[in-house]
Structure 1
Amino acid sequence: MKKAIVTGSAGFVGSTLTERLLKEGYTVTGIDCLTDNYDKSIKLKNITPFKHHKNFKIINKNLLELDLKTLVSDHDYVFHQAGLPGVRKSWGEDFLQYVSHNIYATQKILEAVKGSRVKKMIYASSSSIYGSMNGPTGEEKLPAPFSPYGVTKLSAEHLCHLYYQNYGIPVVSLRYFTVFGPRQRPDMAIHQFIRNTLEEKPITVYGEGKQTRDFTYIKDAVDANMRAMAFGKSGEAYNIGGGSRIGLMDLITLIESASGKKAKVIHTPAQPGDAAHTWADISKAEKDFGYCPVYSLEKGLYHQTSHIRALYNL
Structure 2
Amino acid sequence: MRKSPSRDRILVTGGAGFIGGHLARALVASGEEVTVLDDLRVPPMIPPEGTGKFVEKPVLALSERDLADVRLVYHLASHKSVPRSFKQPLEYLDNVDSGRHLLALCADAGVPRVVVGSTCEVYGEADELPTPESSPLSPRSPYAASKVGLEMLAGAHQRAPGGPEVGVVRFFNVYGPGERPDALIPRLCANLLTREEIPVEGDGEQRRDFTYIADVVDKLIALAGRPLPPVVNLGSGRSFSVNDVVHVLRKSFPDAEVVRKASRPNEIAEFRASTALQNRQIGPRPGAVDLEEGIRLTLAWWGARDLDDIRQRIFQEEGAD
Contact map agreement 2:130 2:237 (CA 8 A) in 1 = no
Of 266, 270, 273 in structure 2, the residue corresponding to residue 277 of structure 1 is 270
1:34-61 deviations in Å (ceiling 9; x for gaps): 114xxx2x44x3323x16xxxx211111
Matched, 1:10 2:16: yes
Aligned to 2:135: 141
Aligned to 2:298: 304
Question: Aligned partners of 2:222 and 2:112: how far apart in 1?
Answer: 14
Aligned to 1:195: 190
TM-score (norm 2): 0.88
SS of alignment partner, residue 171 of structure 1: strand
Shift, 1:115, TM fit: 3.9
Question: Aligned partners of 2:146 and 2:21: how far apart in 1?
Answer: 23
SS of alignment partner, residue 47 of structure 1: coil
SS of alignment partner, residue 47 of structure 2: helix
Question: Aligned partners of 1:209 and 1:58: how far apart in 2?
Answer: 40
1:90-123 deviations in Å (ceiling 9; x for gaps): 114x1111101x1000011101110434232111
Aligned to 1:30: 36
Aligned to 1:186: 181
Question: Aligned partners of 1:252 and 1:262: how far apart in 2?
Answer: 12
Shift, 1:192, TM fit: 1.1
Structure 1, gaps ≥5 residues long: none
Aligned to 2:59: 63
Question: Aligned partners of 1:263 and 1:46: how far apart in 2?
Answer: 31
Residues 123-272 of structure 1 correspond to what in structure 2 (within 5 A)?
123-133=116-126, 135-167=129-161, 168-234=163-229, 236-257=230-251, 259-272=252-265
Question: Aligned partners of 2:301 and 2:47: how far apart in 1?
Answer: 11
Question: Aligned partners of 1:25 and 1:113: how far apart in 2?
Answer: 23
Give me the identity figure in percent.
28
Structure 2, gaps ≥5 residues long: 311-321
Aligned residues: 299
Alignment RMSD: 1.8
Contact map agreement 1:137 1:279 (CA 8 A) in 2 = yes
Shift, 1:261, TM fit: 4.2
Matched, 1:88 2:111: no
Question: Aligned partners of 2:267 and 2:67: how far apart in 1?
Answer: 36
Shift, 1:301, TM fit: 0.9
- Change in CA separation of 1:118 and 1:66 when aligned onto 2, cut-off 3 Å: closer
Aligned residue identity for 1:277: E
